Every structure is written in C-alpha cells, then in structure tokens.
Structure 1
Amino acid sequence: MFFSEEDQLPVLNETGLNLTTDEIEELLSMFQTGEDTSSVIMSPNSGSEESNQGVVYSDGERKKRRMLSNRESARRSRLRKKRHLENVTEQVKQLKVENRELKYQYSFILNKCHLVWTENELLTSEYVALCARLSHLCQILRANHRNY
C-alpha cells in the first residue's frame, strides 16, 4: 500500500502541515511494523535556518537537537558577555587615564592658586607698607607747610 511518485496527495497533519509521499510512507511503515508511535512528534518549523516542515523526530532526537540549540545559545551568550566585559574593561582603562589627567590638572591649578595667593599676600603687605609711608610723608609735608 505504497504511493507512487505521481500520487502527491496533500495530506494535512494535526498542525496543518502538508505531508509528502515519503513522510506518509514512513508513517505507514511504522504502523505496519508495530513501532510505538507515541514517541514520534512532528516538529513544526522552529525558526532555524533550515525548514523542518514535515520532518519526523523521535523524543531522543528532539532532545538532542534541543541540547545542541541550547549549547549554541549558551555559546552566543558567553561571547556577548565576553564582548561586554572587554568593552567595560576598555572603558575602565580610558576612565583611569582621564582620572590621572584630571588629577594632574587639579594639582597644577592648585599650585598656581598657591603661587597667586602667596603673591597676593606679598602685594597686600607692600600696599600696606606704601600706604603707611605715604601717610608719613603727607604728615611731613603738612608740618613743613605750616612752618612757612
């Protein structure tokens, strides 16, 4: 009870997928040999690059494919994590360099500020001394002016 090549009857399974003649023959052969068909599952297209439409997988095969898929997903996840770590490490390096430069600039500005502060104190004391001398000279001039 096998179909010939020209007998391409579209048969829908429970998920609504068309079965090919080869798939129908494989299913029929399982019924004739008395295999346990409860372990046979039709896998719809799982989003992989290859179309699994109409391919019959046993529970063991499905588990193996799922394990491989999980391994690949974990590998991609590890690669993303590694790239993220490399990016963060590079950012840390850049921020350390920037921090060092900012500390240097801060130290330079602090030294400049100290020099300006010291110079300001010196000029202020000079100003006070010159004001006192000027006041003294004005007193002398007034005294000399009174005498005439």
Structure 2
Amino acid sequence: MLIEALLPLFRRSAANSRILNISSQLGLLNKVRDLSLRSMLLDEGALTEGKIEGMTSRFLAEVKDGTWARRGWPAVWTDYAVSKLALNAYSRLLAARLARAGDRVAVNCFCPGFTRTDMTRGWGTRTAEEAGRVAAGLALLPPGELPTGKFFKWCTPQLYSKL
C-alpha cells in the first residue's frame, strides 16, 4: 500500500526512481513445493495482485485449519518465507507493469543474507551495516546501470524468471 501511495511521486521525479524491497532467498520459488502455486507465480502474463493476495489468504486459511504443513509451502520459517514470496511476486509484477507503462521506476528485491539482527538473535555472517551498504549501493546505481525486475542475493543479480 505504501508503494502504491508513493508511485505518483516516483513518476514525477526528473531522475529514474528506485524501489528496493528488502526480501529473502527464503521467498524464492524453489522453496515452494506446491507445483500449482509455483506455476501460478511463474505465469507472468496472468499474475495479478489479486492472485498474490489469494495466495496469502490461502496460506492463512491453511494455517488456521492446520493443513499448511502438508500443502507445499516453504518448510523453513514458513510465515516469513510466504511473506517474502508475496513481496517478490508483487515486485516482479510491479516492475513489469511500470516498464510496460514507460515509467522510469526500477523495482528490485535484495536479500541481505544471514545478517546479525534481532531477528537472528545476533547470529549471522555479516553486520547490519555491511548489508545496509550493499543495499544503498544497489539503490544508488547510476541510471545507465539500473536494472528492474531483479532479485539481488547479496550482490549478485538473479533474474526473477530463474527463481
């Protein structure tokens, strides 16, 4: 909702605007064992916000009725992974929509990896400052080097279609 509210400002910018969503590799499609769900998320021509919302509603309903574990959802940190799965799908959808409209707004996702934060109880292979520097570097890429529709796992861009 925040991104949608800010889009008019992004569109009016004289320079290329950037949206860098902080995500996780736990939300990659290869973590989804349900083939129909994976197929729905891969079908870029038919993917809609409604389908993404439907996916999250389905997950919540299956948590409520206790069937989520056998339904093919990601197995590790499931609730967090599903939220990042939805964020990645929305980011891919938004990047395509803005590109088709000719808007100069780049939309990408960034996974900082296992970072020492409160969420990881201080465990991790890098500091929040290190992750922040990489995120800032990605957000501040020069316009000629600015991709859209990419998922960055630490510093390496991966095409969404390969998720």
Which range, TM-score by smaller chain?
under 0.3
TM-score by length of 2: 0.19
TM-score by length of 1: 0.21
Considering only CA atoms, is the larger Rg found in Structure 1 or Structure 2?
1
Greater RCO (CA < 8 Å, at least 6 residues apart): 2
More strand, by proportion: 2
